[in-house]
Amino acid sequence: MLVGMSLLPSSTPLSSISTPFEFDRVLLPAHLKKKKSYSTWNRLGYNPIVRSTTFPRRRVRCCLSMADGVSTSSPSQVQDNFLYSRAYWVSKSIIAWNVEAGDGSCYLYASKTAALSVTNDGIQGYDVKIELEGDNAGLSENVMEKFPHIRDYKAFKIPPTSDVKSLVKCQLAVAIYNSDGECRNATGLQLPGVLDELFSYDGPLGAVFSKEAVSLYLWAPTAQSVHAYVYRDPSRGDPLEIVKLQEFNGVWSVAGPRSWEGCYYVYEVSVYHPSTLQIEKCIANDPYARGLSADGRRTLFINLDSNALKPEGWDNLVDEKPNLLSFSDISIYELHIRDFSASDHTVQPDYQGGYLAFTSQDSAGVLHLKRLSSAGITHVHLLPAFQFADVDDEKDKWKCADNEMLESLPPDSHEQQAHITAIQNEDGYNWGYNPVLWGVPKGSYASNPNGPCRTIEFRKMVQALNRIGLRVVLDVVYNHLHGSGPFDENSVLDKIVPGYYLRRNTDGFIEHSACVNNTASEHFMVERLIIDDLLCWAAHYKVDGFRFDLMGHIMKRTMVKAKSVLNNLSRNRNGVDGSSIYIYGEGWDFGEVAQNGRGENASQSNLCGTGIGSFNDRIRDALLGGSPFGHPLQQGFVTGLLLQPNDHDHGTKAVEERMLAISKDHIQVGMAANLRDFVLTNCDGQEVKGSEVSTYDWVPVAYALCPTETINYVSAHDNETLFDIVSLKTPMGISVDERCRLNHLATSIIALSQGIPFFHCGDEILRSKSLDRDSYNSGDWFNRLDFTYNSNNWGVGLPPKEKNEKNWPLIKPRLADPSFKPHNSHILAAVENFSNVLQIRYSSPLFRLRTANAIQERVRFHNTGPSWVPGVIVMSIEDGYEGVPGLSQLDPIYSYIVVIVNACPTEVTFAKPSLRARTFELHPVQLMSTDKLVKNSTYEASTGCFKVPPRTTSVFVEPRVPANAMV
């Protein structure tokens, strides 16, 4: 998800929430609910945080209204406190709790059978009762570093003779008694701290294959017993055998016969679960699963090293991968696997919407990718392709739309969306941000979701893309999981070690700011699982990069370690060049992790100097106007602000002028790779650093220390497509020709900026989703792509009501107006213009400078200060000459480049006296273009005056002359 997180609503205090439904509403804002279907909430009928509880809803509401630390004397009220886990077992010897013992006493209770209860005589049903001693020294520095959100809690010491490893398998509670022996407060415990201290483990996990055996290893230190049920069939039949695993220091294992390969298994884990206050027998897949049956019913015993699972030439793919000299040479094209071919009739029906479509060398989609690869795109970013929920793996279960009927409806009708949403949770479409198991390819994209097909076909996809010159980025979603609790069919990790993998708040309930079921990479074994999973995708599937969803919810330490571990993969040892694996993600800083609330997180401002990329929302918002959560008609630099106003009230003309000037500053900082130390002249005529240019929230615009830490983009899968947002924000009276030029103007700025450019699939073909702002579950109908260039999918009905209804009054007249719809000629021109600007980027290394110092030395912005020409950006990039002091020579062809962006509806001239007498000419690619307007761009050497047509980006180059010819 790509969102402007500074505009998210703040969370409501837990104590103010009165009902489970209100709890759901507050903690799951509409724009984040997309990864959990509403039908799931409705079916469950209660608060997702405690949806596994067996207690009546009335009682849950009662306990939710109690404030932390309230003294209570009623046994029933103390009993209710067991639903909370407000104390933290932070180390072997310390429990942290935000209470004052005073002159009373504090005890730890443990029950192997989860029989703790409260009577007038105090807590009963325990097997162990341990008196705790208050520690006036407080929490240690290392504990406060690991748990910064509880740094002010009181510390209680546990006697050193306590059998801690046995205690963590029990129901646990701590209680405070007053001097009269009356129990006045009690709560459950959160265990990640002590589990990390006692049970951190770096040995084998999952199914491990040797010549003679298949061994299972499961990390489950709180489990009381673990059994593996082994099956021959992927979904039916009785188990072949049930085997009991043995535990050593928190790891359960068993050695089985080699004949298990190709069979399936599940674990039965007997464990105390804090959401039910009971010992549960949880049936779960292996967290380290590398294969699954359809819909994840059972884990497949699969050996990824088996030659039978490798396409021909797989082991030598590292030698076939397209060259990548520097991360600065990367350009990224974001693509959804199903979108790519579901509507492509040049792909054989069995392949449509799946992995194998990428192997259809002569399909319209693959021919289009070849064209983009030839122009300069280096990486295809695939939306989630691991096992996710809300799409059945078995295609015969899908419901399909009646496209013939939908085609007959008016372009502004509400009937299309009603038909699509009626089946949206039963069709074959979802973006996939609903993680169930991170380490297995999604079954619905395979020709057969059972057995090893998904592994083989995913590998064929990667191989096919590499062979047409494209590296593959996998979109990974480690910030949350789709399921939790002991009963949810999509829950895995929370069944194995309840309360460990998922981040909890100070009441003990799961945090949901990332969507639902936030994961906790600050815990050792969560971080390990993430890194092991990345290594699996890199080594066994030869993925070339990773894009992290809501990366800011992951700890910086985890990201840095992941980068280092991936970088250490080698051709000889792993068959992979780890130094060429690039990682980037969404560095938004919000929720419980904001401002390092759970440790230093991987937010934009924290990642500088790591070489890890993060999305630059500043340039996006300045180009388009507002933010994804602002008024939909708010205009920006390329959508007509001041220059061609729409009906939205932006304020006075002076206000609009100021907004446009500030937007230009933000864009220029982005074009300089969003470097925080890059010095430029701002709209007030002052020399400032990028970090001294502020957003409207007074947050620094620039945050990067090197160019590869910035991902510049203007559109992505989230929010409206680029063409749609341009069509929405520009005045209704302009022509479709003008809108198409603005679409290209926006992508050209991204393509010619320093840093790494990122494009949403369809930016180059004027892709429309009929103005849908969130198409994650809008089916193939609203997400259709046409690589035959006949349609851009505009005007296929009002977009789905759930996310768009409030904007229907704006959307309806636009969809109804036939003049808004591009023709085939517009789409063909857009493809050519996009290809041309990419060719220009790769025609000179000056567009892809590798260091911050090189950018500061060579990049200049000229139309600056209070007297600037509104709507025009002028950027120059200077090169040196071999053998001449000063700048080194990087480009053998061009010695100087000037890029002029004219967002005005009229032609503009710009004179720069310092550029007089230079031999500038329009870039050869633009001279050869079929775009007649750009060919009208001129430069006059005697005056240093450039002339640029309306809504055009013109690139002027100075061809290099020999050094001895210079005066």
The residues carrying an active-site annotation are 549, 586
List residues bridging with 72 in a β-sheet. none
CA pair distance 789, 346, nearest whole angstrom: 13
Residue linked to tokens 């260039």: 789
CA–CA gap between residue 446 and residue 350 (Å, rounded): 10
Contacts of 68 (CB under 8 A, 6+ apart): 15, 84, 86, 98, 506, 507
* Structure tokens that stand for 542 in this block: 């030869």
Q: Are 763 and 827 in contact (CB under 8 A)?
A: no
DSSP alpha helix (H) spans, 303-402: 317-320, 337-341, 364-375
DSSP, residue by residue, 532-563 = HHHHHHHHHS---EEEETTGGGSBHHHHHHHH
DSSP-derived 3-state class of residue 759: strand
820/823 Cα distance (integer angstroms): 10
400 φψ region: left (φ > 0), alpha (ψ -120 to 50), beta (else): beta
Q: Could you tell me if 641 and 650 are in contact, meaning their C-beta atoms sit under 8 angstroms apart?
A: yes
Give dist(CA 633, CA 814) in Å, integer.
13
Contact 793, 768 (CB under 8 A): yes
What whole-number distance in Å separates Cα of residue 347 and Cα of residue 912? 53
CA–chain centroid gap for 62, Å, is 36
DSSP string covering 1-46, please?
A: ----GGGSPPPPPGGG--SHHHHHHHHS-GGGGGGS-HHHHHHH-S
Quick one: which of 725, 668, 700 has its CA closest to 868? 668
Distance CA 76, CA 99 (A): 20
**Residue 79: which H helix or E strand, with range?**
helix 75-80
For residue 295 the two structure tokens come to: 């819909």
- Which of 738, 716, 808, 742 is closest to 770 using CA atoms? 808
CA atoms of 534 and 521, how far apart (whole Å) = 14
State whether residue 218 is helix, strand or coil.
strand
- Give the C-alpha separation, 231 to 373, whole Å: 45
Provide Rg for the chain, Cα atoms.
30
Bridge-partner residues for 146, per DSSP? Answer: none
DSSP 8-state code for residue 921 = E
